[in-house]
Amino acid sequence: MAESPTSQALPQLSPELLEQYFIIRPSQRWKEIQDARTRLQELKQDKPYENMEADRDRVVTYRDVLQRSGRTIALAICLAAHLRRFSAQPAGKFSDALAVVSSGLDLQSLDETTKLTELERCIREVVTADNLPVLEIPLEGGAASWRAALEQWLAVVNKTPAHEMREVRRDAWTTWDSRLLAFVQGRADEWPPDINYLRCRAEGSAPGTILPARLGRLTLPQMTDALTAALTPVSTVDDAKECPATFSLALLLALRFDLVSELGDPLDTVVQSFLQGRGVSRTSGTSPSIKGVLIIRTPAGSRTTPWNINPSVPALVTTLQNCPMLFTGKSDLGRYLAPRLTGVLFEVDRTENVRDAARRYLNEFKKLLERFPNSQSIRGGLLLARPVGDMNALPPELRAVAVAPSDVAEAVRLAFGS
Amino acid sequence: LIAGPRGSGKTTLIDIAYQSTLSSVPGQRPVIVRLHGPSLLRGRVPSQTPGVAEQKAIDPNATDLMTENVLISLVTNLYQTVAEEFASAYRDIMCPRTPEDHERAAQLRLALDGAPGASTLRDFWESADAMETGVLFHPARRLSMNDVEALRKRPDQAKLEIAALATASEAYRRCTGKLETTEKDENNATREQELKTEASAKGKEIAQALVSVLAGLSVGGAAAASGTAATPSAVAGAVTALLGMVTLTYTSSMKRQSTTRREITFLPDLSVTVLVHRFPLLLRRLRQAGIAPIFMIDEIDKIPAAADSLNQLVSNLKFLCADTSFFCFLTDRAYLSDVAKKTRDTSNNTLLTVYTDLMFVLYETSSFSSYLDKVIRVPIIPDPKRLNELLWDKEALRLALVHRSRMLAFNLMREISEIRLQDDFLNVRQLRGDPLYQMFIVMQLAVEVVLCDPLVSERVRQDPDFGQIIYDALYYPSRIWYQGQEEMDCTLEGLEAGMTSLNSPGALVPGPSDRTDYLELLKPDDRKFLYAQVRVLLGFVCEPIRLRDRVIELIEKKQLTISNVVADVCSTAPILLTRKPGIENKDKYIWRYNWYCIPYKTADMGEIMETVAGADLLLDSMVNELLKVFPSPTVPDIEEDSIPAMGFIMDFQRELLSLKLTA
């Protein structure tokens, strides 16, 4: 019987696909298992070979992995089946949804138990059910009963009502506020990726793509990039790309800045309502008396890439290209940042001549200072990969130098001595 | 204080430092005085005289006894080192000369064994024509311009050398000489004067005397004629006559003898007080002669309960260690931790002033890799494909060797020597395809992946002491594997117990330990951190494919510098480790192969086929069932929902169209 065009467009689920999206994580790839199985066929012709035990181990181990992962596989398929409805891809929606499950939940970083727990949590958000069905693969009798149970559950998932995306995005943003504030309070684990985040991720809208929902390993440059993205005006009325002002406020707190004053419109108008009832204050991130730093990093190969947020050093790490968004975006943070910054550090690419870079950055520094009212106290400096031979060769305005700092606190200490 | 694990190259470190400073201080020759810590602190100094030991044994003051032992040991070893330095210098001067001179050089070497005195030394120096320049910086030896310049300011170099060596010799004799030995220093000053005259009065002699008088008078007359006063002239003549008469006629004798005799009997005093004062003098004289001793006290970690003895010792000898000499104490990590803790806890700790520098020798995997990269070279061959193969093999070998060494330098050297052929080629074949090498490559890649974690690398960088413990933790599974234990307990408690057992001083040295437990100083969070890293590591070893993915990710991020081809070894390596089945066995593992790649459990063909057939059933079934899964709603499902909705919309449109809008 010839397949219909519809069935041709659907993905063929296979162990390889499950491996690709880290839904199962065997010690050996499916292809290698197939090769091992082929070699083991030789035994039927009474032809022993040296690695037959190793091949047996591979096959048995893979079988064990699959058998133990029956429930994980089934739930991942169900979740992807739900998310495919939100996919913006014109074709390959199910594969796209599987990718969203994998990346959105960061399956690669999870151990098997946590992975299953996360999938169950998300499915419970899709389908209100007290008890999820039995989806394990029995040790004996093949996987037919497993597929039957899966398809029943798939029918339930596919029957769920359609969602209004505006509401999905709104709810996702609300969760982001809570997630970021929990991050500020050191409770980031309390807000793992939620179903609305995954739906937005499948849709490709801002709440699902602006930051990974697991904030534990989030770096300073990633968080700053999110802030500049959130402050970037959306050219047309595009709700999918629009970030609410509260998200920017939460990011500022997460970056360890305070929300005491000088925020300007529209942030100032929402700050009160944003903080109300959330158990956080305007200074939850840090103390307003602690001054921070603005680091202009190189677009590629930056030393700052792995830097984490330091709770005692408010900091922004952005590129020269994205930096203007802090002043000319939805809100002008110049007046806000001026009293909160010790200085500005420009990262010099390791391949660039330091003197040339300093000359170039001097102009940028002067332009930046124009953004800050009463900017006399803001110092300039360079972030270097190695010491500079003659400090006098640098412009006096950029002689605060941090050489090869390992984190933001060290950079501030080396450059500005505090 | 130089600390580091056994075999980490602490001694080599000092040797390299010594070599690099050998000619950097003009007019000074550093010499390394090697001292065996256990003998120094625990044992008795070998003595030629039983009486010395007996005397010490009854000494009620144990601290004094140990200090005395140490001083004796210092002096003995210092003399022997210095004597060897002089003998070598002497040989350098004499060897280019005649055979007799060669023999003279050998004689000096033997003479120095007997701790000669200054006069003997002087004799040797004279025969080498070194009474001006000395032997250490003799022009016949290779000297730098700076040495020559420095020696211009020391014109008495030979005397300084003889004085220094004689002082050392004398101190050595005190330490190794018999207790009964006496030194007699006899000083006889005898002055004897003899004045002997004879007198006789015989007739003939009188007649001769008269002639003499006349002669005397004639002398007087001549004197008068020459203008001299008459009376004195006459007197002179008379005196001449009288003298002639006395000489000839009078004999008398007078003897006076004066003798002073002083005899000193010197009994060598080996008490602490004397040596303590003698030792700084010896050091000063050696320095004056251009000898700069570096005392290297090794193997301290092999002494059970060393910390208290060492602390007591260095406190007593502080004025030697800190003020006049350069001492290197080589010990293990535990003692360093103790010292660091004591200096943290007590602001005015004596140890602070004794150990002016605390150094810790920590090898990172990158150090071993750099070394191997230098010593293993791939020949330049025109075939690029073959060249690439060799370069990949080199990477694979590097990983395997680093892991087989378990981060111990001497293990690494042994591993290299085992595969090194006489022509300096390495005897390795099928590196990436050999399951034996594959296992080690997987293990080492897993370690390096964990070390790439910024949290881990940062901790290693900031705190080398803790960094060593991280390395110990990451190589703990390999040590268990190496020991041939099939099962491994890596629960938090099991890991801590195992690491403590493997790394505590008692593991190699029997006897009670005074040191804190291996992990005792660690905070609970740090212990959990170690446990978490080991878990990550073992997760990768159990799942080599995941390890490969992670390695490739790190390669792309430029955090690991190996080839993807080498990372692919993980795909074909045997599964070395599995988790022990059962929930109750969390964090317990089973090694499938031993260190030599022999499976712990062998199977026959029939068993293999039976097992695989069982697995095949489920695999085939699963693959088929997966293909049948249809994740999208079915057409009837869609129709069930959409047809009523479409009907409603059409009805609504129709009603809208039929709506009559009236003004």
Q: Please tell me the least confidently modeled range out of A206-210, A413-417, B354-358, B611-615.
A: B354-358
Inter-chain contact B625–A80, Cβ cutoff 8 Å?
no
CA distance B84 to A90: 88
Residue of B nearest to A77 (CA): B631
Tens digits of per-residue pLDDT, A296-323? 999 888 888 889 898 889 999 999 999 9
Inter-chain contact A13–B632, Cβ cutoff 8 Å?
no
Torsion of CA A81, A85, A87, A91, to 10 degrees: 80
From B630's Cα to the closest Cα of chain A, the distance in A is 8
Percent above pLDDT 70 for chain A: 93
From A155's Cα to the closest Cα of chain B, the distance in A is 7
Contacts of A37-46 with CB under 8 Å at 24 or more apart are A37/B612, A37/B616, A37/B619, A40/B608, A40/B609, A40/B612, A43/B605, A43/B608, A43/B609, A43/B612, A44/B609, A46/B605
Interface test with A, best of B568, B625, B638 (most A CBs within 10 A): B625
Q: What are the beta bridge partners of residue A296?
A: A318, A346
From B468's Cα to the closest Cα of chain A, the distance in A is 20
ipTM: 0.79
User: Is the pLDDT assigned to residue A267 strictly greater than 60?
Assistant: yes
Task: Please tell me the predicted confidence (pLDDT) of residue A288.
Answer: 63
**3-state SS class at A16:** helix
Task: Please tell me the predicted confidence (pLDDT) of residue A39.
Answer: 92
Cβ-Cβ contacts under 8 Å, A151 against chain B = 629-630
Kind and range of the H or E element at B186? strand B183-196
Residue of B nearest to A25 (CA): B546
- CB-nearest to B605 from A26, A48, A154 is A48
B545 close to A (CB below 8 A) = yes
Residue A1 DSSP symbol:
-
Cβ-Cβ contacts under 8 Å, A137 against chain B = 618, 622
B642 close to A (CB below 8 A) = no
Inter-chain contact A62–B630, Cβ cutoff 8 Å?
no
CA distance B644 to B646: 5
From A34's Cα to the closest Cα of chain B, the distance in A is 10
Q: What is the mean pLDDT of residues B253-267?
A: 61
For residue B264, name the pLDDT band (cuts at 50, 70, 90): low
More confident residue, B66 or A102: A102
User: Is the pLDDT assigned to residue B588 strictly greater than 50?
Assistant: yes
Task: Please tell me the predicted confidence (pLDDT) of residue B477.
Answer: 95
User: Is the pLDDT assigned to residue B200 strictly greater than 70?
Assistant: no
Size of interface A-B (CB pairs under 8 A): 137
CA distance B615 to A60: 6
From B313's Cα to the closest Cα of chain A, the distance in A is 41
Cβ-Cβ contacts under 8 Å, A147 against chain B = 625-626, 628-629
More confident residue, B46 or A230: A230
Task: Please tell me the predicted confidence (pLDDT) of residue B655.
Answer: 80
Tens digits of per-residue pLDDT, B596-650? 888 887 667 888 888 888 889 899 999 999 998 888 877 777 777 778 878 888 8
From A93's Cα to the closest Cα of chain B, the distance in A is 10
Interface test with A, best of B580, B611, B620, B632 (most A CBs within 10 A): B632
CA distance B249 to B388: 121
Query: Whose CA is closest to B475, among B455, B504, B495?
Result: B495
For residue B57, name the pLDDT band (cuts at 50, 70, 90): very low
Cβ-Cβ contacts under 8 Å, A58 against chain B = 575
**Ranges assigned E (strand) in B212-332:** 253-266, 291-298, 326-331
For residue A140, name the pLDDT band (cuts at 50, 70, 90): confident
User: Is the pLDDT assigned to residue B197 strictly greater than 50?
Assistant: no
CA distance B231 to A181: 137
Inter-chain contact A15–B546, Cβ cutoff 8 Å?
no
For residue B233, name the pLDDT band (cuts at 50, 70, 90): very low
From A324's Cα to the closest Cα of chain B, the distance in A is 28
Task: Please tell me the predicted confidence (pLDDT) of residue A38.
Answer: 92
Q: What is the mean pLDDT of residues A26-47?
A: 87
Task: Please tell me the predicted confidence (pLDDT) of residue B505.
Answer: 52
**3-state SS class at B295:** strand
B575 close to A (CB below 8 A) = yes
Inter-chain contact B632–A144, Cβ cutoff 8 Å?
no
Q: What is the mean pLDDT of residues A245-262?
A: 86
For residue B226, name the pLDDT band (cuts at 50, 70, 90): very low
From A28's Cα to the closest Cα of chain B, the distance in A is 5
Interface test with B, best of A6, A34, A53 (most B CBs within 10 A): A53
Inter-chain contact B611–A26, Cβ cutoff 8 Å?
no
User: Is the pLDDT assigned to residue B202 strictly greater than 50?
Assistant: no
Interface test with B, best of A4, A27, A150 (most B CBs within 10 A): A27
Inter-chain contact B626–A306, Cβ cutoff 8 Å?
no
Inter-chain contact B549–A108, Cβ cutoff 8 Å?
yes
More confident residue, B60 or B138: B138
CA distance A314 to A256: 5
Task: Please tell me the predicted confidence (pLDDT) of residue A77.
Answer: 95
Tens digits of per-residue pLDDT, B323-376? 667 888 888 777 777 777 676 666 666 666 677 788 888 888 988 999 999 999
Percent above pLDDT 90 for chain B: 23
From B603's Cα to the closest Cα of chain A, the distance in A is 7
For residue B241, name the pLDDT band (cuts at 50, 70, 90): very low
| DSSP letters spanning A182-201 | HHHTT-GGGS---HHHHHHH
Q: What is the mean pLDDT of residues A62-74?
A: 89
Query: Whose CA is closest to A359, among A399, A321, A394?
Result: A394
What would the two tokens of residue B358 be?
A: 């605390």
Q: What is the mean pLDDT of residues B404-430?
A: 87
Cβ-Cβ contacts under 8 Å, A150 against chain B = 629
For residue A274, name the pLDDT band (cuts at 50, 70, 90): confident
More confident residue, A216 or A177: A177
Interface test with A, best of B550, B608, B617, B624 (most A CBs within 10 A): B608
User: Is the pLDDT assigned to residue B17 strictly greater than 50?
Assistant: yes
Tens digits of per-residue pLDDT, A361-406? 999 999 999 888 877 789 999 999 888 878 888 898 898 999 988 8
From B322's Cα to the closest Cα of chain A, the distance in A is 34
Q: What is the mean pLDDT of residues A51-66?
A: 85
* Residues 451-510 in B contacting A (C-alpha not used; CB under 8 Å): 454, 458, 461
User: Is the pLDDT assigned to residue A352 strictly greater than 80?
Assistant: yes
From B583's Cα to the closest Cα of chain A, the distance in A is 12
Residue of A nearest to B435 (CA): A51
Task: Please tell me the predicted confidence (pLDDT) of residue B553.
Answer: 86
B631 close to A (CB below 8 A) = yes
Inter-chain contact A48–B637, Cβ cutoff 8 Å?
no
Inter-chain contact A60–B616, Cβ cutoff 8 Å?
no
Task: Please tell me the predicted confidence (pLDDT) of residue A259.
Answer: 81
Kind and range of the H or E element at B487? strand B487-489
**Residue B512 phi, psi dihedral angles, 5° rounding:** -70, 150
Cβ-Cβ contacts under 8 Å, B575 against chain A = 27-28, 54, 57-58, 61
Strongest mean pLDDT among A219-233, B48-62, B244-258: A219-233
Inter-chain contact B631–A159, Cβ cutoff 8 Å?
no
Q: What is the mean pLDDT of residues B387-398?
A: 90
Inter-chain contact B603–A56, Cβ cutoff 8 Å?
yes
Inter-chain contact B629–A40, Cβ cutoff 8 Å?
no
Q: What are the beta bridge partners of residue A414?
A: none
Instruction: Characterise A279 by phi-psi region: left (phi > 0), alpha (psi -120 to 50), beta (else).
Output: left
Query: Whose CA is closest to B411, among B464, B373, B371, B383?
Result: B371
Inter-chain contact A43–B599, Cβ cutoff 8 Å?
no
Residue of A nearest to B602 (CA): A53
Cβ-Cβ contacts under 8 Å, A18 against chain B = 626
Interface test with A, best of B430, B622, B637, B639 (most A CBs within 10 A): B622
Residue of B nearest to A93 (CA): B632
B612 close to A (CB below 8 A) = yes
What average pLDDT does chain B have? 77
For residue B510, name the pLDDT band (cuts at 50, 70, 90): very low
For residue B319, name the pLDDT band (cuts at 50, 70, 90): low
**3-state SS class at B589:** strand
Inter-chain contact A111–B539, Cβ cutoff 8 Å?
yes
Inter-chain contact B543–A52, Cβ cutoff 8 Å?
no
Task: Please tell me the predicted confidence (pLDDT) of residue A392.
Answer: 84
**Residue B24 phi, psi dihedral angles, 5° rounding:** -90, -15
User: Is the pLDDT assigned to residue A170 strictly greater than 70?
Assistant: yes
Q: What is the mean pLDDT of residues A204-218?
A: 89
From A12's Cα to the closest Cα of chain B, the distance in A is 6
CA distance B663 to B660: 10
